[in-house]
Chain A
Amino acid sequence: MASVAPPERSYQAEQDRLIAPGHDFGSVTDTISKIVLQRKTPLGWFVGFAVSFALLQLLLLAVAMLLFKGIGVWGVRVPIGWGFDIINFVWWIGIGHAGTLISAILLLLRQEWRTSINRFAEAMTLFAVACAAFYPIFHTGRPWLAIYWLLPYPNTMGLWPNFRSPLIWDVFAVSTYATVSALFWFVGLIPDLATLRDRAESKAWKIVYGMLAMGWRGSAKHWHNYETAYLLLAGLATPLVVSVHTVVSFDFAVGLVPGWHATIFPPYFVAGAIYAGFAMVLTLAIPLRRFYGLQDFITLKHLENMAKVMLATGLIVAYGYMMETFMGWYSGNDYERFMLANRMAGPYWWAYWALILCNVVAPNLLWIKRLRTSVPFLFLVSFVVSTGMWLERFVIIVTSLHRDFLPSSWGIYAGTRWDWAAFVGTIGLFLTLLFLFVRFLPAISIFEMRTILPGAAMAEEKTK
């Protein structure tokens, strides 16, 4: 056990442990539930929430402006019909993928270190999908009319959607993803909601958490079905998460535009999504563990493992860029070759090389263990990667569209102030939801933390 490790190995032990020594079922429960149940909300929370909420108001302003004036307030013009709206959609939905990977795929692979980060990573998924959904819905211009273009339902006009279009596939993939992520998250919360119900001091919160816990009492019969359901949901979420970014990449790959029409898109988009998502999990986990003193539960080992996943997926993404370039040259197609030369040396050359710097060069520093275990460096690199992944979508969308087949229809694109307002506004929406989440729900799964405590190991105790 960790408690009897000799002193000279203690630094190594500190790096390897998933939970600090000296914790038992009670202390784990109290430490995590205290964050939610404490009467006094920390001042820092109010400051962070106020800033996020102010940014959210900017989103409302941007939406009001968009609906009042029309899509023209965004910078999208022929030939660049897709701009910030689709860049941000792909960026946000990619971020969500790490949450599902941590909660579902790492569960199936029996990676115990997922336990203390899965809850808020799943919350991050839900909120990122909400931000992502904003863009295509409002890009329709008249979202209240968009329902009959998007969803199959018997409307009075007798119209049905065209199921041969990747955009309709997107509707099915993203709405299923949002629903299943919400279900998975809620099922994971039920036992912890019961803990909050039993530990809340005020009558009102007892009632609120009691209603949400639905009468959960931790019976062996309940756990038996619960564990089966949780595993099945993980098994279903795994093929789902792979399909979502695959379908998002079909939005491009099924089109004939040079720079989009590539079979490498699905795997490289999925890897990029996980890469961006882990960067965001690090961006959120590092301040969370510091602010709430959760270093006992989110240890250096967790941060290092996330850095390793980022390095691995970053290398897959780098391979994707390389193959994209190679196939563009190897195809011998004039338009493909022109697109490549234009992407690297055309008007947007800076975006391409900044993307290579952020996504290919920066993650390779994570090979060095000293940097991989340095918290400030990880925090920095997570921002670099998030920026790089945004630039990747900018490069794919804008540089492929702005030089059309005929030079008469060439153009230049830049986001307008309302594009930026909507982008910053969705960051506000994301942060506002996250602040509310850490205040009212347990950010770490309490019941799963109990299962990885040394005291929970049955086999060892039995043999004594």
Chain B
Amino acid sequence: MKGREPGMPDVYGLMAEFHSPAEVVDAAHHVRAAGYRKVDAYSPYPIEELSEALGLHHSPLPRIVLVGGVLGLLGGLGLQYWSSVVEYPLNIGGRPLASWPAFIVPAYETTILFAAGAAVLGMLALNGLPEPYHPVFNVPSFALATRDKFFICIEARDPLFERAATRKFLETLSREVHEVEH
């Protein structure tokens, strides 16, 4: 394969296939218990128990969204204050230039706009998307990960990874174990 650096392992990892959500969650517990850490699981819909089994804790996303919302609020208020008081002061019906009660409405909307933008862009950034190429797609049956099959992949960069031994271990959990090429 092109672009492979010297010293990189031969395969990306080993992948086991499962047929039900209970099997994959059970297997994820075993994989964690065996000491593997560079592990990911794949499922056609979100399974909370699976994230827990893989030891995924709090997502940093809520803090990113909070920052987005605060920036939106300050940006919205700042824009209105600056344009109405500093840049283009205009007497409209004798109202004060800094008519803050009227400014609440656009600032409310920019708060939500920026927070929602931060949620979407933050989610994509944390997940590393868009990602045009990923080795897991080289496994032919992986196309079913978006239909009805469940997968666990132990990556070769895990310190405990040994091609033969890890394969034997995964075969105790599932009958279908695939090698994932780069």
What residues of chain A have their CB less than 8 Å away from a CB belonging to chain B?
Answer: 24-26, 29-30, 152, 158-164, 166, 168-169, 172-173, 176, 179-180, 183-184, 186-187, 191, 194-195, 197-199, 214-229, 232-233, 236-237, 239-240, 243, 247, 250, 447-448, 450-451, 455-456, 458, 461-462
Residues of B within 8 A of A160 (CB): 83-84, 87-88
How many residue pairs link A and B with beta carbons under 8 A? The number is 201
Contact A228 B45 (CB under 8 A): no
Residues of A within 8 A of B44 (CB): 25, 29, 191, 195, 218, 447, 450
Cross-chain pairs A/B with CB under 8 angstroms, 27 sampled: A160-B84, A164-B92, A164-B99, A169-B106, A169-B109, A172-B110, A179-B113, A180-B113, A183-B117, A191-B45, A214-B131, A215-B132, A220-B43, A222-B127, A225-B126, A225-B127, A227-B46, A232-B62, A236-B119, A240-B109, A447-B44, A450-B44, A451-B45, A455-B20, A458-B25, A458-B48, A461-B20
Chain B residue with the shortest CB-CB distance to A233: B119
What is the bound-complex CA distance between A195 and B56, given in angstroms?
24
Residues of A within 8 A of B169 (CB): none
Contact A187 B120 (CB under 8 A): yes
Beyond the given A218-B42, A223-B51, A447-B44, please list 6 additional residue pairs across the A-B interface where CB-CB is below 8 A. Answer: A172-B109, A198-B144, A215-B133, A220-B43, A450-B44, A458-B49
Residues of A within 8 A of B136 (CB): 217
Contact B145 A152 (CB under 8 A): no
Contact A229 B61 (CB under 8 A): yes
Interface residues as binary, B25-49 with A (CB distance below 8 Å gives 1, 0 otherwise): 1001000000000001111111111
What is the bound-complex CA distance between A413 and B126, given in angstroms?
56
Interface residues as binary, B50-67 with A (CB distance below 8 Å gives 1, 0 otherwise): 110010100101100100
Contact B65 A232 (CB under 8 A): yes
What is the bound-complex CA distance between A180 and B59, given in angstroms?
21
Contact A240 B147 (CB under 8 A): no
What is the bound-complex CA distance between A225 and B130, given in angstroms?
14
Interface residues as binary, B99-114 with A (CB distance below 8 Å gives 1, 0 otherwise): 1001101101110110
Minimum distance in angstroms from A3 CB to a CB of chain B: 18
Contact B123 A187 (CB under 8 A): yes
Chain A residue with the shortest CB-CB distance to B40: A219
Contact B112 A217 (CB under 8 A): no
Contact B116 A180 (CB under 8 A): yes
Residues of B within 8 A of A224 (CB): 46, 51, 56, 59
Q: Any chain A CB within 8 A of the CB of B143?
A: yes
Minimum distance in angstroms from A249 CB to a CB of chain B: 12
Contact A219 B42 (CB under 8 A): yes
What residues of chain B have their CB less than 8 Å away from a CB belonging to chain A?
Answer: 20-22, 25, 28, 40-51, 54, 56, 59, 61-62, 65, 79-80, 83-84, 87-88, 90, 92, 95, 99, 102-103, 105-106, 108-110, 112-113, 115-117, 119-120, 122-124, 126-127, 129-134, 136-137, 142-148
A455 with B46: in contact, given A163-B99, A214-B124 (CB under 8 Å)? no
Q: Which of B42, B84, B106, B110 gathers the greatest number of chain A CB atoms within 10 Å?
A: B106
A183 with B46: in contact, given A29-B148, A162-B92, A163-B102 (CB under 8 Å)? no
Residues of A within 8 A of B43 (CB): 218, 220, 223
Residues of B within 8 A of A221 (CB): 40, 51, 54, 56, 127
Contact A179 B116 (CB under 8 A): yes
Residues of B within 8 A of A223 (CB): 43, 45-47, 50-51
8 Å CB contact of A215 from B25, B59, B129: B129
The 8 A-B pairs at the shortest CB distance, nearest first, are namely A25-B148, A214-B130, A215-B131, A229-B123, A160-B83, A223-B46, A461-B22, A198-B143
Contact B42 A220 (CB under 8 A): yes
Contact A447 B129 (CB under 8 A): no
What is the bound-complex CA distance between A218 and B47, given in angstroms?
10
What is the bound-complex CA distance between A29 and B43, given in angstroms?
13
Residues of A within 8 A of B87 (CB): 158, 160
Chain A residue with the shortest CB-CB distance to B131: A215
Contact A163 B123 (CB under 8 A): no
Contact A232 B61 (CB under 8 A): yes
Minimum distance in angstroms from B66 CB to a CB of chain A: 10
Residues of B within 8 A of A219 (CB): 40-42, 127
Contact B123 A228 (CB under 8 A): yes
What is the bound-complex CA distance between A227 and B56, given in angstroms?
13
What is the bound-complex CA distance between A243 and B80, given in angstroms?
19
Residues of B within 8 A of A173 (CB): 105, 109
Minimum distance in angstroms from B107 CB to a CB of chain A: 9
Contact A455 B62 (CB under 8 A): no
What is the bound-complex CA distance between A194 and B147, given in angstroms?
10
Residues of A within 8 A of B48 (CB): 227, 458
Minimum distance in angstroms from A359 CB to a CB of chain B: 28
Residues of B within 8 A of A461 (CB): 20-22
Q: Which of A25, A191, A216 gathers the greatest number of chain B CB atoms within 10 Å?
A: A25
Residues of A within 8 A of B88 (CB): 158-160
Minimum distance in angstroms from B144 CB to a CB of chain A: 8
Contact A228 B145 (CB under 8 A): no
Contact A458 B21 (CB under 8 A): yes
What is the bound-complex CA distance between A164 and B131, given in angstroms?
45
What is the bound-complex CA distance between A447 and B146, given in angstroms?
8
Residues of A within 8 A of B99 (CB): 163-164
